[in-house]
């Protein structure tokens, strides 16, 4: 009997559920009952963190700095002086790229001074006409991948220009062009390092999760104090958010390689460095490129939030449009963001896939034909821009730049589309909404809030124990304990409720739709483009129609989370199914499995590492939407994080609240990852 119990995990789970139910039933809900809620012993902690960070930001190790503007010496803390140097360096790069495209004074000021630049108004970087950039990008697209990419790039750039979003779009692009390569580079380095050392991997994993989960509002004020407000602060926050998937996918790609790859490299006499750069990384290219795709998507997904800490460009315009409920305009801007994301992604992909042709001998003209075409285009476009000054009557030179918001607009059509949806579906949706709230969401919420703390711990630590033994159980317990000892346990339960409902739906959607779409090449391409689109299409835009249709309710929050959180579940399912070797499929077919059997016995198990990573990311994405949910209106941790912005002790509160959100994610990650690793071992995938 006991032996059987030890063998059968399902029996262990049943026992756990019974205990959980009994605890739920018999514990008396009373504030004084320690089994019901733990006392907030850590209540002092946010205040302590607040004071420590305040000390670090404003007092620790003061140095005398002369401020020429106010002609006084000021006491400045050393740390912030150091971080400001980093800021200046990043800002210079962003401004430099921006001024190549749009013109301006900042680059020249860096090498002279504001006094000099003000006295010499001619000393400005001239911006390039939009035709040069659009044409140049199109030629680059053609050179990289032929006509299809050229068309996509040409169309996208023209759309951005014609719709009068050129200036903000280039501002956004300039900061993405700095943030994305930095993220890819850091991600690659960290991924390789984690591949070489188990310790690094173990340390890195929770940090990556935290970087992705902790809402940016938690550290908005420290970032603004340390780095100053501006594009650089936006870029730094973006890098923090965009690097983790790159690290993960680099690691995943390298780990999947068989030993024979490395051995063949060693046999050809590679040094360590050559082995890495010429053998391992190129072979793991498929996953690393998904990483690059993810970096670009995450960078563009951050455009709106980055505008809260000073990043210029499309983000703030979008927020202004939304605050006037101008969904049409906001959608136009959102499309610009998506187009930039897709163009960057496809171009970087084409560039990485391009093989150098070592053997052909080409003449000078053949070798440089694209540069020559660009040079010709450059001259023609410059000429046109010059002529353009004289032909347009209103004083705008459309051949140089279409001024902001003076291009075409389809905003009213988009707006009437939204109105149509409202008029057509509102009452049907209202019935659904009421049902969902009354029969599903409110009961689930009540159940979560009605859980005694001892029951929650038993359940999660029990699952941890069954899945991964004592170590996992203790880790999970420690993470939960941290939340339970703050005064925000109830708020965390609400966050957990919103997250688990959304993750459940997202996971089901992701795996089923992902599987269906992976069946043929066209639907695969479609679903991946859908993923790219909705990962970068700012969630704020559909928040408004969702709020109008479903009210300021949890339904709206859950829908907003699902739209975003089902993306990794979809993407990783598709990628996982595609990575199943064809030989295995053939072997299956020869042994006579039918389609469903093949899916169940070959494809799903083989793609399990990918799908598990996808589910893991679904949890991460769902938790990272907590703050967006708070912007609709919730009463969970997110709302308190928003509230901490105006709070006197806000910095400490915000950070600890953010860490509470992260702890939920880390606990789930711990369980999911252990389970995935076991499955992998069982299948011989490691």
Partner 1 sequence: MKFRNTLIAAGASAILLSATGVAKAADSTKPIVIPIHNWSSQVVMAHVIGGIFESMGNNVEYVPADSQAVYESIRNGDVTISHEVWQSSFGGSFYNAMAKGGLIDAGTHSAATLEEMGVPTWVIDQNLCPGLPNWEALKDCKDVFTTVDSDGKGRWLEGPQSWHGTLMEERIAALGLGDDYMVKYAGGASSLWAELAAAKKEGRATIIFNWTPNFTDAEGFTFIEFPEYTAGCRVADGGEGSCGSPKGWLKKAASYKFPKSHPAAYTAYSKISFSTGQIGSMAALVDTDGLDHKDAAAKWLADNEATWTAWTK
Please give the residues from 613 up to 652 whose contact with partner 1 meets the rule CB under 8 A. 629-635, 639-640, 642-648, 650
Nearer to partner 1, 133 or 316 (CB): 316
Question: Distance (Å, rounded) from C-alpha 328 to C-alpha 315?
Answer: 15
282-321 residues in contact with partner 1 (CB under 8 A) are 307-312, 315-316, 319-320
Question: Distance (Å, rounded) from C-alpha 75 to C-alpha 73?
Answer: 7
Looking at 134-142, 436-444, 456-464, 667-675, which segment touches partner 1 (CB under 8 A)? 436-444
Nearer to partner 1, 412 or 584 (CB): 412
278-305 core/surface letters (b: 16 or more CB in 10 A; e: else): ebbbebbeebbbbbbbbbbbbbbbbbbb
Q: Of the candidates 52, 197, 323, 389, which one interacts with partner 1 according to CB under 8 A?
A: 323
Q: Give the shortest CB-191-to-partner 1 separation in angstroms.
A: 33
Question: Distance (Å, rounded) from C-alpha 212 to C-alpha 201?
Answer: 16
Looking at the DSSP assignment, which residues form a beta bridge with residue 67?
72
Nearer to partner 1, 5 or 111 (CB): 111
| HSE toward the beta carbon, residue 628, CA cutoff 13 A | 30
* Residue 112: burial class (beta carbons within 10 Å; 0-12, 13-18, 19+): middle
Q: Of the candidates 7, 33, 75, 113, which one interacts with partner 1 according to CB under 8 A?
A: 113
253-272 residues in contact with partner 1 (CB under 8 A) are none
Question: Distance (Å, rounded) from C-alpha 516 to C-alpha 522?
Answer: 12
- Contact by Cβ (8 Å): 246, 299: no
Q: Of the candidates 107, 172, 298, 433, which one interacts with partner 1 according to CB under 8 A?
A: 433
Retrieve residue 57's tokens.
Answer: 């930001």
Q: Of the candidates 66, 122, 364, 390, which one interacts with partner 1 according to CB under 8 A?
A: 66
Q: Of the candidates 79, 548, 604, 685, which one interacts with partner 1 according to CB under 8 A?
A: 548
Q: Give the shortest CB-635-to-partner 1 separation in angstroms.
A: 7
Retrieve residue 55's tokens.
Answer: 């000390």
Nearer to partner 1, 304 or 467 (CB): 304
Question: Distance (Å, rounded) from C-alpha 508 to C-alpha 614?
Answer: 12
- Contact by Cβ (8 Å): 517, 527: yes
Nearer to partner 1, 92 or 155 (CB): 92
Question: Distance (Å, rounded) from C-alpha 154 to C-alpha 171?
Answer: 19
Q: Give the shortest CB-632-to-partner 1 separation in angstroms.
A: 5
Nearer to partner 1, 465 or 540 (CB): 540
Q: Give the shortest CB-675-to-partner 1 separation in angstroms.
A: 35
> Should residue 544 be labelled a site residue for partner 1 when binding is judged by CB under 8 A?
yes
Q: Give the shortest CB-35-to-partner 1 separation in angstroms.
A: 27
Looking at 242-250, 382-390, 398-406, 478-486, which segment touches partner 1 (CB under 8 A)? 398-406
Retrieve residue 373's tokens.
Answer: 């075409």
Nearer to partner 1, 66 or 364 (CB): 66
Nearer to partner 1, 281 or 436 (CB): 436
210-249 residues in contact with partner 1 (CB under 8 A) are 220-221, 224-225, 228-230
> Should residue 325 be labelled a site residue for partner 1 when binding is judged by CB under 8 A?
yes
Nearer to partner 1, 218 or 616 (CB): 218
408-427 residues in contact with partner 1 (CB under 8 A) are 422, 426
Cα torsion 483, 488, 489, 494 to 10°: value is -120
Q: How far is CA 662 from CA 80, 464, 492, 624, 655, in A?
A: 26, 18, 11, 9, 10
Total residues binding partner 1 (CB under 8 A): 76
- Contact by Cβ (8 Å): 255, 311: no
Question: Distance (Å, rounded) from C-alpha 603 to C-alpha 515?
Answer: 10
DSSP 8-state class, residue 438: I
Q: Give the shortest CB-104-to-partner 1 separation in angstroms.
A: 11
85-104 residues in contact with partner 1 (CB under 8 A) are 88
Nearer to partner 1, 538 or 609 (CB): 538
Nearer to partner 1, 231 or 669 (CB): 231
Angle, to 10 degrees, between the axis of helix 9-26 and the axis of helix 453-485? 80
161-200 residues in contact with partner 1 (CB under 8 A) are none
> Should residue 508 be labelled a site residue for partner 1 when binding is judged by CB under 8 A?
no
Question: Distance (Å, rounded) from C-alpha 626 to C-alpha 496?
Answer: 10
Q: Give the shortest CB-562-to-partner 1 separation in angstroms.
A: 17
Nearer to partner 1, 135 or 650 (CB): 650
Retrieve residue 209's tokens.
Answer: 């999760």
544-554 core/surface letters (b: 16 or more CB in 10 A; e: else): bbbbbbbbebb
Q: How far is CA 432 from CA 12, 419, 437, 502, 682, in A?
A: 38, 19, 9, 17, 43
Nearer to partner 1, 40 or 228 (CB): 228
> Should residue 118 be labelled a site residue for partner 1 when binding is judged by CB under 8 A?
yes
Looking at 68-76, 181-189, 206-214, 255-263, which segment touches partner 1 (CB under 8 A)? 68-76
Q: Of the candidates 22, 151, 552, 584, which one interacts with partner 1 according to CB under 8 A?
A: 552
* Residue 271: burial class (beta carbons within 10 Å; 0-12, 13-18, 19+): exposed
Q: Give the shortest CB-52-to-partner 1 separation in angstroms.
A: 16
> Should residue 64 be labelled a site residue for partner 1 when binding is judged by CB under 8 A?
no
- Contact by Cβ (8 Å): 515, 561: no
């Amino acid at each position: 009997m006991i032996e059987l119990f030890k063998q059968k995990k399902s029996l262990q789970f049943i026992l756990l559920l019974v205990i959980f139910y009994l605890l739920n039933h018999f514990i008396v809900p009373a504030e004084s009952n320690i089994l019901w809620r733990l006392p907030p012993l850590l209540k002092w902690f946010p205040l302590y963190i607040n004071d420590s960070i305040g000390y670090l930001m404003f007092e620790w190790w003061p140095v005398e700095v002369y401020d020429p503007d106010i002609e006084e010496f000021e006491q400045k803390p050393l740390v912030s002086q150091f971080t400001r140097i980093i800021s200046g360096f990043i800002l210079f790069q962003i401004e430099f790229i921006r001024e190549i495209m749009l013109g301006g004074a900042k680059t020249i000021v860096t090498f002279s001074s504001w006094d000099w630049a003000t006295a010499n108004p001619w000393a400005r970087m001239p911006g390039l006409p939009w035709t040069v950039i659009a044409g140049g990008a199109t030629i680059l697209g053609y050179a990289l991948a032929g006509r299809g990419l050229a068309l996509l790039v040409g169309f996208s750039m023209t759309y951005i220009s014609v719709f009068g979003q050129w200036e903000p779009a280039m501002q956004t692009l300039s900061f993405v062009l700095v943030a994305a390569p930095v993220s890819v580079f850091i991600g690659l380095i960290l991924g390789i390092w984690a591949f070489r050392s188990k310790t690094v991997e173990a340390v890195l994993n929770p940090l990556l999760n935290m970087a992705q989960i902790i809402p940016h509002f938690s550290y908005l004020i420290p970032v603004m104090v340390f780095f100053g407000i501006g594009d650089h602060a936006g870029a730094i926050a973006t890098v923090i958010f965009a690097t983790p998937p790159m690290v993960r996918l680099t690691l995943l790609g390298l780990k999947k390689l068989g030993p024979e790859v490395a051995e063949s490299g060693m046999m050809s006499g590679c040094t360590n460095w050559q082995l890495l750069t010429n053998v391992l990384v190129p072979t793991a290219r498929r996953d690393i490129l998904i990483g690059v795709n993810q970096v670009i998507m995450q960078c563009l997904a951050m455009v709106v939030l980055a505008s809260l800490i000073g990043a210029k460009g499309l983000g703030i315009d979008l927020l202004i449009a939304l605050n006037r409920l101008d969904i049409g305009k906001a959608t136009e801007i959102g499309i610009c963001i998506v187009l930039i994301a897709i163009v960057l992604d496809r171009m970087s992909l084409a560039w990485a896939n391009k093989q150098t042709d070592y053997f052909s001998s080409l003449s000078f003209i053949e070798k440089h034909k694209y540069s020559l075409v660009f040079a010709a285009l450059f001259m023609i476009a410059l000429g046109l821009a010059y002529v353009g000054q004289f032909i347009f009557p209103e004083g705008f030179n459309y051949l140089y730049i279409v001024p902001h918001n003076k291009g075409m607009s389809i905003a009213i059509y988009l707006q009437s589309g939204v109105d149509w949806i409202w008029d057509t579906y509102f009452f049907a949706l209202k019935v659904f909404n009421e049902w969902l709230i009354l029969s599903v969401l409110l009961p689930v919420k009540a159940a979560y809030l009605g859980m005694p703390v001892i029951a929650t711990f038993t359940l999660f630590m029990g699952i941890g124990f069954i899945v991964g033994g004592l170590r996992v159980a203790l880790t999970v317990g420690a993470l939960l304990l941290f939340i339970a000892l703050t005064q925000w346990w109830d708020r965390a339960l609400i966050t957990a409720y919103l997250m688990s409902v959304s993750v459940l739906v997202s996971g089901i959607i992701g795996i089923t739709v992902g599987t269906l779409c992976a069946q043929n090449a066209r639907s695969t391409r479609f679903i991946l483009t859908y993923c790219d689109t909705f990962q970068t299409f700012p969630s704020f835009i559909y928040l408004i129609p969702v709020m109008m249709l479903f009210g300021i309710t949890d339904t709206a929050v859950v829908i907003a989370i699902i739209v975003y959180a089902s993306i990794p579940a979809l993407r990783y399912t598709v990628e996982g199914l595609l990575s199943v070797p064809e030989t295995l499929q053939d072997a299956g077919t020869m042994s006579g499995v039918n389609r469903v059997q093949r899916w169940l016995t070959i494809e799903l198990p083989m793609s399990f590492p990918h799908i598990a990573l996808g589910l893991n990311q679904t949890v991460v994405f769902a938790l990272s939407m907590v703050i967006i949910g708070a912007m609709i209106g919730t009463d969970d941790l997110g709302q308190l994080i928003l509230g901490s912005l105006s709070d006197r002790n806000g910095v400490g509160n915000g950070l600890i609240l953010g860490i509470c959100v992260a702890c939920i994610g880390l606990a789930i990650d711990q369980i999911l990852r252990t389970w995935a690793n076991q499955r992998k071992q069982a299948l011989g995938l490691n």
